[in-house]
Every structure is written in C-alpha cells, then in structure tokens.
Amino acid sequence: MKHTLLAILAALACVAVATAQPPMAIGVTIPASTPLSCGAQQVILKKMQQLTTLNGVGAQAENTRFRLTPSVRIVSSDVTPTAPPSQLVKLSIVLMIADTAGSKSIVAQTELSAKGTGKNEEAAVLNALQQVDIRSAALKRFMEQGKKRIADMPPVGHQPPAAADTATGEN
C-alpha cells in the first residue's frame, strides 16, 4: 500500500513538472546614463526590485529576458519661501518592461509623478523616490499588464508560421 501511494505521488509530480510553465522573470536595471546620484539610484533600484518581487516576477537582471527599467527626470525644482528654505522637486518616473532577447520591444510602460522636499535638491529627490508606493493600484495594473503580455509572447527563437505563398509564378 505504501509503495502504491508513493508511485502515485511520483507520477503526479512528474505530470506537474512536465506541464509546468517556466516562471516569468523580470530583472531590474538602471541605465548607465541616468542623471541620478548613487544614493537615488540605490533607492529606485530597491523600490523596483520590491515591485517585481511583490508581483511574483522578481529575478536577477543578468539572468532574465525581460527587464524593468526606470527613467527618472526632474520636472521642476523650486526653493520654498519658508525659513529655513528647502528644495521642492517634482519628478516624472517612467517605468518600462522591455524584451531584451526576443522582439526587443517595450512590453508595458507607465508614468508616475512624485514630489519631495529636502535641504538640497539631492535630498529632495531621495525624499520623492522614497514616497513611491509600490503597492498602488496603478503599479499593480502596470505589472499585471506586463505579465499578461509576456505570457502571450512566443519563446525566443520561435518563428510564427509563414503565410502560405499564393503566387503561382505565372504572369
């Protein structure tokens, strides 16, 4: 009885492994040309890694076909009219999930805005990045859209069937 039960469990495990889809993985990369300070790059990298992990697709960027890349731009930077003065920045954060191996296209994209204050512009940027809510509904929709489009993509190296040649060669 014990051997029969083990054989059944082993067979079920084999079927589960054979029919399992490979896990969807999205790595995070920060462009080398980003104008952010090292501290700000670390904050946005950590936030994006938390976002992918929270949505069940986190992975090391070196080992993945798909990459989440944030692009941060300072939209405005002002000094507040208070004593002592502080810096107020408004950021535009564009997030893109791109296919780096297959079609080399953007799978999903969204844009966020963030505001922050600090003693100087760098501190204000750090403050704004720290306030990005990775559990927001907009980021949840963005990740779901990206995962759906990734699931619909063919594997690397898979060619779609060619259209039938209808030409007869006669003029």
DSSP secondary structure letters along 65-125: SEEEEEEEEEEEEEE-SSSS--EEEEEEEEEEEEESSSS--EEEEEEEEEEEEESSHHHHH
Do 134 and 28 touch, CB atoms closer than 8 A?
no
User: pTM to 2 decimals?
Assistant: 0.74
pLDDT at residue number 79: 93
- Domain spans in the chain, listed from the N-terminal domain onward: 23-152
Tell me the pLDDT tens digit for each residue of 7-44.
666 655 555 444 334 457 899 999 888 888 999 999 99
| Range with lowest mean pLDDT among 52-61, 79-88, 156-165 | 156-165
CATH architecture, domain defined by 23-152: 2-Layer Sandwich (3.30)
Residue 154: closest CA among 59, 26, 65, 61? 65
Q: Which residues pair with 93 in a beta bridge?
A: 72, 112
Indicate the SS3 state at residue 126.
helix
Mean pLDDT, residues 135-145: 95
Tell me the pLDDT tens digit for each residue of 103-135.
788 999 999 999 999 999 999 999 999 999 999
Which helix (DSSP H) or strand (DSSP E) does residue 26 occupy?
Answer: strand 26-28
Q: 171 pLDDT band (50/70/90 cuts)?
A: very low
The neighbour count for residue 158, using CB atoms within 10 Å, is 8
